[in-house]
Amino acid sequence: MSASSEGIAPTGHPLAAGRLDDPAAYPGVDPTDFLAAVEGLPAQLADAIDRARGATDLPAADGIRSVAVLGMGGSGISGELCRTLLAPVAPVPVASARDYELPAWVGPDTLVFAVSYSGNTEETLAAYAEASRRGARIVAVTSGGALGAEAAAAGQAVIEVPGGMMPRAALGFVSLPPLVVCARLGLAPGLERGLDGMLVTVGQRVVECSRSVPTAANAAK
């Protein structure tokens, strides 16, 4: 078995064993400093929670019989996260929809989260438009774009998140708002109680696995 197949950087790799503690080696394999986005996750999660807790014009909770989360790519992860976390506790079915088309059951009694970090994802915009035609109860999660403009014009709830990031670096911004809104609408029993603890845990992990922590004490390295 080769060193690389075991998850260990091979000899000669910029981050081979012994160089993980050398800050000068990082730019060679991480020129965009994506690690900084990972290290900033606790702050991102806290910001996302605050934005969702402060969101106005949310749909009525009475009579919701299903939840659908629309999204593609990095934004689509929010649907899978919601489905995974809410399925054991939610009183209604929760589904992720990654396509131009909606499931046939989406209608006026469905809570729909249209999630597009850019606000211009073609498939999500098409599914969002269909959800609007069917009279679904919609919450948009986006940094702007066409989705933000169309949802605002329709009087639907919009949770606006900061733009300018790579979509895959905005995991907290696209994933936490649907969960928090579901909690606010009574669809996620117990979730609110776990959010503060989650922030503490993620914060601890970032400290423990920081680039400044030596390899000998750093599980991530």
pLDDT along the chain (221 residues), means of 10: 46 64 89 92 97 96 97 90 91 95 97 97 97 98 98 98 92 96 94 90 95 92 86
Give pLDDT, residue 19.
82
Give pLDDT, residue 221.
86
Give pLDDT, residue 23.
85
Give pLDDT, residue 15.
63
Q: Are 62 and 107 in contact (CB under 8 A)?
A: no
Give pLDDT, residue 17.
56
Give pLDDT, residue 10.
52
Separation CA 91–CA 11 (nearest Å): 53
Q: Are 47 and 179 in contact (CB under 8 A)?
A: no
Task: List the end-to-end C-alpha distance of the chain, in Å, as a whole number.
Answer: 20
Task: Give the global pTM.
Answer: 0.88
Q: Is 139 left (phi over 0), alpha (psi -120 to 50) or beta?
A: beta
